[in-house]
Amino acid sequence: MVSKALLRLVSAVNRRRMKLLLGIALLAYVASVWGNFVNMRSIQENGELKIESKIEEIVEPLREKIRDLEKSFTQKYPPVKFLSEKDRKRILVSLHI
C-alpha cells in the first residue's frame, strides 16, 4: 500500500518535472529561433546597405557625366528661319514592303 502511494507521488513529481523540462526546452528553442531570425535580419540589412553603397559608387560618376553633358548644350535645336505657310515644305516618308 505504501509503495503504491509512493509510486504515485514519484510519478506525479516526474510528470511535473517532465512538463517543466518540456516547457524549458520549448522556451529555449523559441529563443534560439528568434536569435537566428534577428541575426539573419541584421546580416540582410548590412548586405542591403553594402549593395546600395556599391550602386551609389557606380552611379555617381554617371550622374556627374550627365550633368556635364547637360551644361555643355545650351540650345536643344538649331535656329530655324520662320517660314510662312506657303513657303513651308512638307515631306512624306513611307515604307513600302
Q: What is the pLDDT of residues 9-63, one digit of tens each?
A: 667 777 788 888 888 888 888 888 887 777 777 777 777 778 888 888 888 888 9
pLDDT at residue 84 is higher than 70: yes
Q: Please tell me the predicted confidence (pLDDT) of residue 2.
A: 61
pLDDT at residue 1 is higher than 60: no
Q: Is residue 97 part of a domain?
A: no
| Number of domains making up the chain | 1
Q: Please tell me the predicted confidence (pLDDT) of residue 7.
A: 64
Q: If DSSP codes are grouped into helix, strand and coil, which group holds residue 62?
A: helix
Q: Please tell me the predicted confidence (pLDDT) of residue 75.
A: 66
Owning domain of residue 23: 4-75
Q: Is 40 left (phi over 0), alpha (psi -120 to 50) or beta?
A: alpha
Q: Is residue 56 part of a domain?
A: yes
Q: Which amino acid type is present at position 60?
A: E
Q: Is residue 93 part of a domain?
A: no
pLDDT at residue 74 is higher than 80: no
pLDDT at residue 96 is higher than 70: yes
Can you tell me which residue has the cell 515604307?
A: 95
Q: Is residue 58 part of a domain?
A: yes
